[in-house]
Amino acid sequence: MNPASVTALNVDEIRKQFPVLNRKVNGKPLIYFDNAATSQKPISVIEALAEYYRNYNANIHRGIHTLAEEATKAYEHTREQARAFINAASPREIIFVRGVTEGINLVAASYGRAFLRNNDEVIISGLEHHSNIVPWQLICGQTGAKLKVIPVSESGEIDLEAFTRLLSSRTRIVAVNHASNSLGTINPIKEIIRLAHGAGAVVLIDGAQAGAHLPIDVQELDCDFYCLSSHKMYGPTGTGILYGKSHLLEKMPPYQGGGEMIKEVTFEKTTWNDLPYKFEAGTPNIADVIAFGKAMEFIRQTGRDVIEQHEQALLRYATEKVGSLPGVRLIGTAPQKVSVLSFVVDGIHPFDVGQLLDARGIAVRTGHHCTQPLMDRYGIEGTVRASFAVYNTFAEVDALTEGVRRVINFMR
Amino acid sequence: MKTINQLQDEIISEFALLEGDTEMTLFYIMELGEKLEPMKEADKTDDNLVKGCQSKVWLTARLENDRVWFSADSNTAITKGLVSLLVRIFNGQTPDDIIHADLYFISKIGMERFIGTQRSNGFAAMVKQIKLYALALKTKQEV
């Protein structure tokens, strides 16, 4: 069967919306397979950025003039879009941050500092990005809490039994990703959240690799915190959201002090603004937030199920094609994965594979993908990672396969 | 004995035959790496690692008859090829010539990608280490 026929998506039409896909790299048409690092941007996002600066650039919330009102309205419109995108109960639960990293740091610093005590425990998994490891190490160092790690199986899945054994009355926070950036594994977060709640812990989900690929319903998941990065979901860099249940956000102290986050300031005492503004000190990243709204609109209009179906077909095709090349070993073979194909080639360093693919215009990522403990788990220095997005095609996967085959033929 | 610049020009004309094809250039660089004199396993220590490289590069130098001789290896084929070009240029030169060398060949062979960007740090770090070795050996020589 022609693999293209299994997908309902008109990829040619989608590709027309992404100007960068027209460019050449080393004389070859760009094939962009580094989407797990950052995705490319549709014209609607690019134009929204320019439109803001061209027509209604103003500082938001306290201005009484027309431009300030327009900018405020557009900014708050994105908050409502984000609320709908993850089905939060209220826009008060949506805090704009720089991205997932800042979202996790905010929760670790604010919730962690307020509620972690000596010998309390924080549980993360062996699949985490450094962003979901280091903030917890920092706060554990400051509070005397202990960091525990759920082991990962050979296929790259979280060991749920081990997790239940780690849970105890000392567990305060569980922080895991929705999907792994290195391997693609989709974690059973609903079950993790249920188990953690049973032990009385709150749960933070790092949604960096889910935002562009999976449906997200924070109420159905019942997670306490959920983080997203705009730039991995067709939006601009430098913005993202932290979702938090309002009753938790209300009892958390502010993360940063400054303008916007206050109600009243005297030199004796300052009172905090209401949610979500309590956590948005200073002039926010207005333009990028507004354009982020266009990115979520792009995903919604294209259809999350259609995107998922297309990417899953690409993943299956690439797994079969690249996976059957001599000497290629796939790293991460969980049955449920987002569109990430991580692999190593026997006797060939990922750096060489990546450089040689780049010579053919193919952008992949090589290295440890900010998950050094996970690479240690597999006893490897790093992998070659190809990650697919809505605009990728089966022909591009063929080019990747051919590229890797050439590297193997030359070097083995 | 060819000068550093004669060797650079020789490399530039060899690579000119590849007509700027990035893939062929990388393949050729890797082939050159395979011809690099093997480094003693005992010399592949953390102390001999060049700092600032994305891939591992080991580099040692010794002085013989007032000339500097290098030995190098890398865990990636492309980097090994790049360091082999440096060894070819600098082996047997005087410390002074190495310290004052102006390396222009890398951009002329279409590999400027390895200079001044994130990946380049590798190349810049290798050159810096070579010059540091030359300086250290020169100081030793003068003592």
Q: What is the DSSP string of B21-72?
A: -HHHHHHHHHHHHHTSPPPPGGG--GGGBPTT-SS-EEEEEEEETTEEEEEE
The residue segments making up the domain with residue B91 are: 4-142
Phi then psi dihedrals of residue A126, to 5 deg:
-70, -5
Paired tokens of A239:
């913005």
ipTM of the complex: 0.90
A260 shares contact with chain B (CB less than 8 Å): no
Phi-psi region of A292 (alpha: psi -120 to 50; beta: other; left: phi over 0): alpha
- A355 and B23: CB-CB below 8 Å? no
Q: At what angle do helices A286-302 and A66-86 cross, to 10 degrees?
A: 40
Residues of B in contact with A352 (CB under 8 A): 30, 76-78
Report the C-alpha gap between B104 and A231 in whole angstroms.
38
In a 13 Å sphere around the CA of B132, the CA atoms on its Cβ side amount to 11
Q: What's the distance, CA B111 to chain centroid? A: 13
Nearest chain A CA: its distance from B85 CA (Å): 17
CATH number where B67 lies = 3.90.1010.10
Parallel/antiparallel/unpaired status of strands A340-345 and A328-330: antiparallel
pLDDT of residue A399: 98
- B76 and A410: CB-CB below 8 Å? no
Best of A24, A26, A346, A351 to disrupt the B interface by mutation (most B CBs within 10 Å)?
A351
Which 3 state secondary structure label does DSSP give A158?
strand
Residues of A in contact with B79 (CB under 8 A): 351
Query: Which domains are delineated in chain A?
Result: 3-37+303-411 (3.90.1150.10), 46-300 (3.40.640.10)
Report the C-alpha gap between A203 and A312 in whole angstroms.
28
DSSP secondary structure string for all residues of A261-274: SEEEE-SS-EEEPP
A410 shares contact with chain B (CB less than 8 Å): yes
Candidate from A348, A359, A411 with C-beta closest to B23: A359
Q: How far apart are the first and last CA of chain B?
A: 26
Residues of A in contact with B123 (CB under 8 A): none
Instruction: Give the helix/strand (H/E) hosting A13.
Output: helix A11-16
A356 shares contact with chain B (CB less than 8 Å): yes
- B55 and A349: CB-CB below 8 Å? yes
Paired tokens of B51:
């700092």
Which 3 state secondary structure label does DSSP give A36?
coil
B54 shares contact with chain A (CB less than 8 Å): yes
Phi-psi region of A50 (alpha: psi -120 to 50; beta: other; left: phi over 0): alpha
CA dihedral A371, A376, A377, A381 (to 10 degrees): 80
Question: Annotated catalytic residue: which of B32, B39, B53, B101?
Answer: B53
Number of domains in chain B: 1
Parallel/antiparallel/unpaired status of strands A365-367 and A383-387: antiparallel
Q: What is the DSSP letter of B93?
A: B
Q: What is the DSSP letter of A227?
A: E
Quick check: is B140 catalytic? no
B76 shares contact with chain A (CB less than 8 Å): yes
- B75 and A410: CB-CB below 8 Å? no
pLDDT of residue A260: 83
Phi-psi region of A192 (alpha: psi -120 to 50; beta: other; left: phi over 0): alpha
Which 3 state secondary structure label does DSSP give A239?
coil
Q: What angle do CA A128, A211, A223 make, to 5 degrees?
A: 65
CA dihedral A367, A372, A377, A379 (to 10 degrees): 50
Cβ contact B72:B83 at 8 Å: yes
A30 shares contact with chain B (CB less than 8 Å): no
Give me the amino acid identity at B37: E
B117 shares contact with chain A (CB less than 8 Å): no
Paired tokens of A160:
């749920």
Helices and strands, number each (H, E), in chain A: 15, 17
Residues of B in contact with A359 (CB under 8 A): 22-23, 25-26
Q: What is the DSSP letter of A182?
A: T
Instruction: Give the helix/strand (H/E) hosting A342.
Output: strand A340-345
Q: What pLDDT, in 10s, does the model give residues B19-54?
A: 889 999 999 999 999 999 999 999 999 999 997 666
- Print pLDDT tens along chain A (412 aa): 445 545 678 999 999 999 999 999 999 999 999 999 999 999 999 999 999 999 999 999 888 899 999 999 999 999 999 999 999 999 999 999 999 999 999 999 999 999 999 999 999 999 999 999 999 999 999 999 999 999 999 999 999 999 999 999 999 999 999 999 999 999 999 999 999 999 999 999 999 999 999 999 999 999 999 999 999 999 999 999 999 999 999 999 999 998 888 888 888 888 899 999 999 999 999 999 999 999 999 999 999 999 999 999 999 999 999 999 999 999 999 999 999 999 999 999 999 999 999 999 999 999 999 999 999 999 999 999 999 999 999 999 999 999 999 999 998 7
CB atoms within 10 A of CB A73: 12
Report the C-alpha gap between A272 and A275 in whole angstroms.
9
Q: At what angle do helices A286-302 and A43-51 cross, to 10 degrees?
A: 150
Closest residue on chain A to B30 (Cα): A411
Paired tokens of A389:
């997005």
- B23 and A360: CB-CB below 8 Å? yes
